[in-house]
C-alpha cells in the first residue's frame, strides 16, 4: 500500500479557471500549516497581511512624494522628475517574473521580509541623496523591495481562502493598501515641510525607519505562521511547473485584464509623481497637495471595502468599465482648474475609479491562474505595470516640458478611456471570480 500521504492541502489544476485545462492534471501538495490547510482569515493571518500592506504602501507613497520634492529641490526639470520616477520600475521590469517563480517555489512570507528590508534601505537613501543619480538609485531599490512584498502578498491572498469570496478578499486587502496611501501623502508632506523649516533629514530617517521595521516584523510573524520556507512540491517529488510568461498572457481575458491593470496602476503612480509638479506650477502649497492625495486614498478605501457589494450589483466586467471611465473623466478635468475644492472632487472621483479597478484586476488574475503558477501570473501582471512605470514617466515628463504638466493628465485620461473602449469592444468573460 505504501506510505500514507501528507495531509497537506491538495489542489487539482484541472479545477482552475477555464484556459488552464491544457496542463496535466497533477496534484499539488503544499506543506501543511494553519494558513495552507484553512482559509487565510484564521489565526489573524489575513489581518496581519492587510496591516503589512498598509505599511508597505504608506511607506512607498510617502517616500516617492519626498523623492519628487527632493528632485525639485535639486533643480530637476519635468524630464528629470520623470527619470527619477521611472527608476522606481527599473529593476522590477527584469526581475518580476523570476521573483514570481521563486515565490511559487519557496512561499510568500520570506519575500515579504526581504521586501520590507529593501524598502527601508531605499527610503533612507531617498532622504539623504544629494544628487539626481543617487536619488534615482534609491528609487530603484525602493521599487525592487516593493515588488518583492507585492508579489508575495497578492499571491498569498489569491492562493488562500474561498474562490467565491476572492473579489471581496482582494477588496479588503486593497483597502488596507489604500489606508497606507491615505496616510503616506500626509506623512511625506510633513517630512518635506519639516525639511523646508530646517529640521533636515532626521524626521524622514526616523519615520521611514519605523515604518519599514513594522512591515518587516509583520512579515516575520507571517513567516512563522505560514511556515512556507520549504519548497512547494508536486506529487512525485518535483517542484512547481514553470509556466512561460507568454502562455499566461494567452489565458482567456488575461491580456485585456493586464492592459486594464497597467492603465489603472499607471494612473495611481503618475498622480503621485506629477501632482506635486502641477501644484508647484500653480502655487498650490505642499500640504494641500498631500491632503488631495490623501483624499483620493480615503475614497479608495471605501470603494475597496465595498468591492464585493459593487460586484454583486454591477457584475465584475461592468464594475471595471465603470471604474475606467470614471477615472478618465476625472483626469481629463484636472487641467481645467486650480481651485482646491474642485480638485478635491476630482480626487474623490479618482479614488472611486482607481480604487475599485485595482482589486478587480487582481481578482481576475488570481481566478485565471492555477494555484502553483499564481505567483508567476501576479509577477507577469506587475511586469506590465512596471514597464509602463519605466517608460511612461520619461515620455510624459518630456511631453510636459514644452506644453505644461496638464498634458500628463490628459494623456492619462486618453489611456484609461481607450482601455475602457477596448473592453466594450472585446468584453472580458463575465464570471471573473467563479
Q: Could you write out the DSSP letters of every residue in 130-143?
A: -SHHHHHHHHHHHH
Q: 286-305 and 45-73 helices cross at what angle (nearest 10)?
A: 160
Q: Three-class SS of residue 235? A: coil
Q: What is the maximum alpha-carbon separation in the chain?
A: 78
Nearest alpha carbon to residue 201 among 139, 264, 130, 258: 130
Nearest alpha carbon to residue 36 among 170, 159, 151, 173: 159
Give the pLDDT confidence score for residue 5 in this predicted structure. Answer: 41
**How far apart are alpha carbons 303 and 172 in whole angstroms?**
10
Nearest alpha carbon to residue 364 among 154, 89, 175: 154
Q: DSSP label at 233? A: E
Query: Is-contact 62 380, C-beta < 8 A?
Result: no
Flag whether pLDDT at 363 surpasses 60.
yes
Nearest alpha carbon to residue 429 among 251, 305, 236, 282: 251
Q: In this structure, what C-alpha cell is assigned to residue 60?
A: 512607498
Structure confidence by residue, pLDDT tens digits, 114-137: 999 999 999 999 998 999 999 999
Structure confidence by residue, pLDDT tens digits, 150-194: 888 888 887 766 666 777 788 888 888 888 878 888 899 899 888
Write down the mean pLDDT value for the chain: 79
**How far apart are alpha carbons 294 and 289 in whole angstroms?**
9
Structure confidence by residue, pLDDT tens digits, 17-66: 344 443 333 333 333 333 333 444 445 688 888 999 999 999 998 999 89
Question: If pLDDT is split at 50, 70 and 90, which confidence band does 242 have?
Answer: low
Helix, strand, coil share (%) of the chain residues, nearest 5: 75, 0, 20
Cβ partners under 8 Å of residue 355, min gap 6? 174, 178, 296, 297, 299, 300, 301, 302, 303, 304
* CA distances, 395 to each of 85, 184, 305, 390, 392 (Å): 11, 26, 34, 9, 5
Here the contacts of 275-279 (C-beta below 8 Å, separation 24 or greater) are: 276/65, 276/68, 276/69, 276/72, 277/68, 277/72, 277/78, 277/81, 277/400, 277/405, 278/334, 278/405, 278/406, 278/409
Task: Go through 75-104 and write b for each residue having 16 or more CB atoms within 10 A of its CB, e for each that does not.
Answer: ebebbbbbbbbbbbbbbbbebbbebbbbbb
Whole-prediction pTM: 0.69
- Return the CATH class of domain 39-229+244-425: mainly alpha
* Reduced 3-state DSSP string for 164-222: HHHHHHHHHHHHHHHHHHHHHHHHHHHHHHHHHCCCCCHHHHHHHHHHHHHHHHHHHHH
* CB-neighbour burial class of residue 402 (10 A; exposed 0-12, middle 13-18, buried 19+): exposed
* CA distances, 31 to each of 85, 160, 214, 322 (Å): 40, 13, 27, 41
Q: In this structure, what C-alpha cell is assigned to residue 94?
A: 527584469
pLDDT > 90 in the chain, percent: 28
**Residues paired with residue 269 on neighbouring β-strands, in sequence order:** none
Flag whether pLDDT at 83 surpasses 70.
yes
H or E element that contains 397: helix 374-403
More confident residue, 147 or 8: 147
Amino acid at each position: 500500500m505504501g506510505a500514507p500521504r501528507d495531509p497537506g492541502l491538495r489542489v487539482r489544476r484541472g479545477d482552475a479557471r477555464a484556459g488552464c485545462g491544457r496542463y496535466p492534471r497533477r496534484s499539488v501538495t503544499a506543506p501543511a500549516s494553519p494558513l495552507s490547510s484553512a482559509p487565510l482569515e484564521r489565526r489573524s493571518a489575513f489581518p496581519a497581511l492587510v496591516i503589512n500592506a498598509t505599511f508597505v504602501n504608506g511607506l512607498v507613497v510617502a517616500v516617492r512624494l519626498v523623492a519628487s520634492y527632493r528632485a525639485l529641490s535639486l533643480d530637476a526639470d519635468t524630464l528629470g522628475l520623470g527619470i527619477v520616477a521611472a527608476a522606481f520600475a527599473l529593476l522590477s521590469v527584469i526581475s518580476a517574473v523570476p521573483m514570481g517563480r521563486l515565490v511559487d517555489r519557496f512561499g510568500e512570507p520570506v519575500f515579504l521580509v526581504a521586501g520590507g528590508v529593501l524598502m527601508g534601505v531605499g527610503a533612507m537613501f531617498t532622504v539623504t541623496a544629494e544628487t539626481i543619480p543617487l536619488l534615482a538609485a534609491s528609487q530603484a531599490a525602493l521599487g525592487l523591495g516593493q515588488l518583492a512584498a507585492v508579489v508575495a502578498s497578492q499571491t498569498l491572498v489569491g492562493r488562500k481562502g474561498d474562490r467565491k469570496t476572492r473579489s471581496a478578499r482582494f477588496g479588503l486587502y486593497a483597502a488596507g493598501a489604500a489606508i497606507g496611501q491615505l496616510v503616506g501623502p500626509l506623512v511625506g508632506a510633513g517630512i518635506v515641510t519639516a525639511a523646508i523649516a530646517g529640521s533636515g533629514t532626521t524626521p524622514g530617517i526616523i519615520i521611514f525607519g519605523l515604518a519599514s521595521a513594522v512591515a518587516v516584523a509583520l512579515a516575520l510573524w507571517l513567516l512563522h505562521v505560514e511556515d512556507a520556507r520549504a519548497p512547494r512540491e508536486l506529487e512525485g517529488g518535483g517542484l512547481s511547473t514553470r509556466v512561460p510568461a507568454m502562455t499566461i498572457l494567452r489565458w482567456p481575458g488575461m491580456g485585456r485584464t493586464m492592459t486594464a491593470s497597467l492603465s489603472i496602476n499607471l494612473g495611481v503612480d503618475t498622480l503621485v509623481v506629477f501632482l506635486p509638479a502641477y501644484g508647484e506650477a500653480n502655487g498650490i502649497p505642499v500640504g494641500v497637495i498631500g491632503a488631495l492625495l490623501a483624499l483620493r486614498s480615503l475614497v479608495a478605501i471605501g470603494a475597496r471595502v465595498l468591492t464585493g457589494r459593487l460586484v454583486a450589483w454591477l457584475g465584475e466586467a461592468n464594475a471595471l468599465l465603470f471604474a475606467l471611465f470614471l477615472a478618465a473623466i476625472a483626469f481629463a478635468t484636472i487641467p481645467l482648474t486650480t481651485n482646491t475644492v474642485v480638485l478635491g472632487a476630482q480626487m474623490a472621483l479618482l479614488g472611486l475609479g482607481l480604487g475599485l479597478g485595482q482589486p478587480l484586476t487582481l481578482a481576475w488574475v488570481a481566478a485565471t491562474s492555477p494555484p502553483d503558477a499564481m505567483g508567476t501570473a501576479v509577477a507577469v501582471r506587475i511586469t506590465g505595470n512596471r514597464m509602463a512605470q519605466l517608460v511612461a514617466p520619461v515620455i510624459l515628463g518630456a511631453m510636459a516640458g514644452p506644453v505644461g504638466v496638464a498634458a500628463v493628465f490628459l494623456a492619462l485620461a486618453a489611456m484609461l478611456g481607450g482601455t475602457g473602449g477596448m473592453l466594450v469592444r472585446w468584453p472580458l468573460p463575465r464570471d471573473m471570480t467563479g
